């Protein structure tokens, strides 16, 4: 897959980092403001997709990246499952219970387990959107002309 | 009531597309149209007169909030819809590679 | 709050992603890990089957207690009916995954297969145990999306076409279901099945209520492939790899379709005369049409797939007779008999249809064809496959002493007692045509003489496939003891009771 023109490349260089940071902001403020894991994850995946579309990438690197993102996706969802099941080991021993201290409402570190869920759901969504995107590109590249 | 009826009409538009279109990609697009009409209706069911976004403001206890549960449901359903769409697009690309066409009339190996 | 209940979802879900991560590093781990997971689930579900009885166990995820009597947590519910369905899901799942150990070795990227299989099991278990509508939808989609991928696992022309059809109709069904759920939430402002019943029992708008019922019946009917909505089933079930066909036909259309229809129309909606007539008609229609579509088929798996529609018709028919009896308000014992017959046939169908698809897979594995006309004389080379498939064919066509006989007998007796003589006659006729169609299958596949030279080197299939088929044929024989008086009361009657007495279900869950 080929890259795009110099103008697009330069703009993407300037923007992609900011988009990535904004995604992280949305994820870690998920329990305080609208947004959260899913929205932030999509934004992070968007920054990677911008880079790939603007700069292009060759086939072998794409398949390697897809392997990596699949791995991240599986790890993230395993951790989310573990966090949900951890309620059965600690606290009141109930599935999905929020057993960490709640803190005061409105602070960044509060609401117990929710920020942790948000972070790993965000990772999961970012990795899976990237995987879908890469898989579709790989399909297209494999196709005989 | 008009927005609710418009959602139903959008649903029927999607259904019409699925039934009449011959192109695989257009069928997938019609599915998405149908899907989002349902999501719109779901989000509308949480509407309250004069309600604001459901972020609790401790200083103003009498504020009216819209119902947050349909929003959470719609978000979950959007994630599911994303997975369905990705899956169907992958299948369509594979079908194009095997059959060399998007036309549903030429894809009929299975009958009976 | 029994801590084992959420394990039905957690264990296969975590297992699926563990297989994805570790399956790349360690060879053959995927097969054994998946088998172990299913074995664990089988033992847990059996434990529940023996201990549940007629009590209703509720698990509130997150530990959220009801506020002012309104449930706010995600409820997981186990009662007599659930545990039966959980048992058949996990047993057929275990047998199929054990069968796949050799069957799937012909395909590439096996670890994806086992991961998707575990996801499908997690979805179906989730549908069955969850006590609120939206979670039923979410888990339904988990199982549906993984089954779309599994049907297309061979990525050849036929598989892709079948999966496209399946996906379009499945997605249509999902949106119709979601629309119904949204409309319910709009009026009732709750999603918990028991709570919805409480809210609607204090009065409702009749037309609106009917619209919701029709929407949900259409949606879950599409998932269950009842006759006007059956277009996807023969393609999808015949194109999938054989263990997946066994899962789809044996379990998925029950867990995602029939189970939810029965649960919602008995425990959530008030039973009305019109709805029960509609359901009975649909059942009779799919019973008759399915078998007539099946008899002309020459592809084994297509034939079996059409028979699934017909046999599901029996289940829907007898449950519908039960609903009609309840709506008339007279003679509850006939209603109980009809419902028990339907549930019994549901269990039996999982056993023998799973076995028949595994047999078809074994034949395809050795001979490489699915066309009945190209087979013949396999009984000598494949004695175990021939014997097990004979047992399954006799069971599905209702020959004693196999399980199918007893469930069909109960259904026919219930129809006669309820004075629906036409339905009873139809059930008998359909059973005879089923017998004819399976005699054709037996004759062409196993007993016909064939002097084809290249059939000489056909051997019996390897051990894991044989083991699965033998286990299922023994289950087919053993299930007939469920009809005996002492055992029927402990296994079938709790399930029937929970359906017969919806107010008990609602009050036990909401605790009012």
More confident residue, A47 or C375: A47
Contacts of residue C137 in chain B, CB cutoff 8 Å? 77
The domains of chain C are located at 153-510
* Cα C350 from Cα C258, distance rounded (Å): 12
What contacts C385, CB < 8 A, 6 or more positions away?
Answer: C359, C362, C363, C378, C460, C461, C466, C469
Tokens describing residue B93: 């690309």
Mean pLDDT of the residues in chain C: 87
The answer to whether residues C231 and C306 touch, using CB atoms and an 8 Å cutoff, is no
Q: Do A96 and C14 touch (CB under 8 A)?
A: no
- Give C-chain residues touching A87 at CB under 8 angstroms: 62
C208 touches chain B (CB under 8 A): no
Radius of gyration of chain A (CA): 18
Q: Using the beta-carbon criterion (under 8 Å), do C158 and B45 form an inter-chain contact?
A: no
Answer whether C169's CB lies under 8 Å from C151's CB: no
Which pLDDT belongs to residue C62? 77
Pick from A138-142, B13-17, B32-36: least confident = A138-142
How many Å apart are CA C361 and CA C243, to the nearest integer?
7
Query: Does A63 contact C at CB distance below 8 Å?
Result: no
pLDDT at B112: 54
With 70 as the cut, is the pLDDT of residue C452 above it?
no
- B30 reaches C (C-beta below 8 A): no
Among the partner residues B70, B92, B110, nearest to C235 by beta-carbon distance: B110
3-state secondary structure string, C460-473? CCCHHHHHHHHHHH
pLDDT digits (tens, 9 = 90+) for C258-299: 999 998 998 888 888 889 999 999 999 999 999 998 888 888
Rounded Cα gap, residues C446 and C362, in angstroms? 13
Chain A partners within 8 Å of C72 (Cβ): none
What subunits make at least 3 CB pairs under 8 angstroms with C? Answer: A, B
Average pLDDT over residues C150-162: 88
**Cβ–Cβ below 8 Å for A136 and B89:** yes
Helix (H) or strand (E) holding C74: strand C74-78
pLDDT bucket at C89, cuts 50 / 70 / 90: very high
Class of domain B2-36+62-106 (CATH, top level)? mainly alpha
Closest-CA residue of chain A to C1: A94
Whose structure tokens read 């769409």? Answer: B85
Residues of chain C with Cβ-Cβ distance to B73 below 8 Å are: 134, 182, 185
Q: Which of C3, C21, C60 sits opposite A93 (nearest CB)?
A: C3
Band of residue C74 on the pLDDT scale cut at 50, 70, 90: confident
Q: Which residue of chain B has the CA closest to C239?
A: B110
Could you give the CA distance from residue C463 to residue C210 in angstroms, rounded to a whole number?
53
Cα(B55)–Cα(B73) distance, integer angstroms:
17
C-alpha dist (Å) from residue C354 to C142, C181, C416: 22, 32, 30
Q: How far apart are CA C359 and CA C350, in angstroms?
A: 14
**Complex-level ipTM beyond the 0.90 threshold:** yes
From chain A, pick out residues whose CB is under 8 angstroms from the CB of B55: 33-34
Under 8 Å CB pairs connecting chains B and C tally to 92
CB contact under 8 A, C145 and B84: yes
List Cα–Cα distances, C489 to C77, C340, C413, C476, C482, in angstroms.
21, 10, 18, 20, 9
Q: Where are the domains of chain B?
A: 2-36+62-106
Distance CA A86, CA A79 (A): 10
What is d(CA C395, CA A79) in angstroms, rounded to the nearest whole number? 46
d(CA C502, CA C452): 60
> Encoding tokens for residue C304?
């079996």
Q: How far is C194 from chain A (nearest CA, A)?
A: 21
A135 to B90: CB separation less than 8 angstroms, yes or no: yes
């Amino acid at each position: 897959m080929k890259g795009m023109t110099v103008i697009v490349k330069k703009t993407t260089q300037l923007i992609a980092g900011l988009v990535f940071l904004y995604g992280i902001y949305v994820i870690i403020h998920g329990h305080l403001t609208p947004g959260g894991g899913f929205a932030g994850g999509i934004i992070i995946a968007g920054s990677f997709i911008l880079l790939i579309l603007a700069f292009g990438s060759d086939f072998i690197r794409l398949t390697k990246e897809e392997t990596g993102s699949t791995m991240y996706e599986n790890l993230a969802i395993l951790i989310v499952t573990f966090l949900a099941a951890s309620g059965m080991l600690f606290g009141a021993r109930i599935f999905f219970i929020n057993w960490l201290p709640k803190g005061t409402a409105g602070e960044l570190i509060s609401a117990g387990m929710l920020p942790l869920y948000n972070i790993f759901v965000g990772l999961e969504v970012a990795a899976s959107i990237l995987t879908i995107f890469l898989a579709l590109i790989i399909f297209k590249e494999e196709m005989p002309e | 009531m008009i927005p609710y009826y418009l959602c139903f009409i959008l649903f029927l538009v999607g259904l019409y597309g699925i039934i009449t279109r011959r192109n695989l990609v257009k069928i997938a697009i019609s599915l998405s149209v149908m899907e989002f009409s349902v999501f719109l209706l779901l989000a509308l069911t949480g509407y309250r007169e004069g309600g604001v976004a459901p972020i609790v403001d401790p200083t103003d206890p009498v504020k009216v909030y819209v119902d947050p549960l349909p929003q959470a449901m719609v978000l979950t359903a959007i994630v599911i819809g994303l997975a369905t769409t990705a899956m169907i697009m992958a299948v369509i690309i594979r079908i194009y590679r095997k059959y060399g066409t998007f036309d549903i009339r030429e894809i009929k190996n299975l009958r009976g | 709050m029994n801590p084992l209940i959420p394990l039905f979802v957690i264990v296969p879900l975590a297992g699926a992603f563990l297989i994805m991560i570790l399956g790349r590093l360690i060879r053959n781990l995927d097969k054994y890990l998946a088998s172990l997971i299913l074995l664990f689930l089988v033992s847990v579900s059996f434990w529940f089957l023996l201990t549940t009885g007629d009590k209703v166990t509720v698990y509130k995820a997150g530990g959220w207690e009801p506020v002012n009597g309104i449930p706010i947590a995600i409820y997981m519910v186990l009662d007599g009916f659930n545990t039966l369905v959980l048992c058949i899901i996990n047993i057929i799942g275990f047998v199929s995954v054990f069968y796949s150990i050799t069957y799937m070795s012909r395909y590439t990227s096996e670890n994806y297969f086992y991961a998707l299989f575990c996801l499908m099991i997690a979805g179906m278990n989730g549908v069955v145990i969850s006590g609120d509508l939206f979670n039923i939808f979410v888990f339904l989609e988990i199982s549906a999306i993984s089954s779309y991928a599994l049907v297309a696992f061979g990525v050849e022309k036929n598989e892709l076409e079948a999966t496209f059809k399946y996906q379009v109709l499945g997605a249509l069904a999902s949106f119709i279901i979601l629309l119904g759920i949204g409309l319910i939430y709009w009026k009732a402002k709750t999603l918990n099945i028991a709570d919805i019943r409480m809210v609607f029992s204090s009065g409702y708008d009749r037309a609106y209520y009917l619209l919701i019922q029709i929407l949900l019946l259409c949606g879950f009917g599409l998932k269950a492939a009842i006759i006007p909505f059956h277009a996807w089933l023969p393609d999808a079930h015949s194109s999938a790899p054989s263990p997946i066909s066994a899962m789809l036909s044996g379990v998925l259309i029950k867990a995602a379709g029939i189970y939810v229809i029965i649960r919602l129309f008995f425990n959530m909606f008030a039973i009305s005369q019109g709805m029960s007539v509609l359901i009975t008609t649909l059942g009779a229609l799919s019973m008759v049409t399915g078998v007539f579509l099946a008899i002309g088929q020459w592809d084994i798996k297509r034939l079996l797939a059409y028979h699934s529609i017909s046999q599901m018709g029996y289940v829907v028919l007898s449950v519908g007779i039960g609903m009609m009896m309840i709506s008339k308000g007279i003679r509850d014992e006939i209603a109980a008999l009809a419902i028990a017959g339907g549930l019994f046939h549901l269990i039996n169908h999982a056993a023998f249809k799973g076995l028949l698809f595994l047999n078809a897979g074994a034949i395809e594995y050795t001979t490489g064809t699915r066309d009945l006309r190209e087979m013949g004389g396999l009984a000598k080379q494949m004695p175990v496959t021939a014997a097990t498939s004979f047992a399954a064919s006799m069971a599905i066509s209702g020959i004693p002493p196999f399980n199918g006989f007893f469930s069909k007998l109960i259904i026919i007796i219930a129809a006669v007692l309820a004075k629906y003589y036409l339905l009873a006659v139809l059930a008998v006729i359909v059973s005879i045509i089923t017998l004819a169609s399976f005699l054709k299958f037996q004759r062409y596949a196993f007993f016909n003489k064939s002097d084809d030279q290249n059939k000489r080197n056909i051997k019996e299939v390897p051990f894991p496939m044989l083991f699965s088929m033998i286990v299922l044929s023994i289950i087919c024989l053993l299930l007939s003891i469920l009809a005996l008086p002492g055992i029927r009361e402990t296994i079938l009657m709790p399930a029937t009771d929970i359906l017969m007495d919806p107010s008990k279900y609602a009050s036990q869950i909401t605790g009012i």
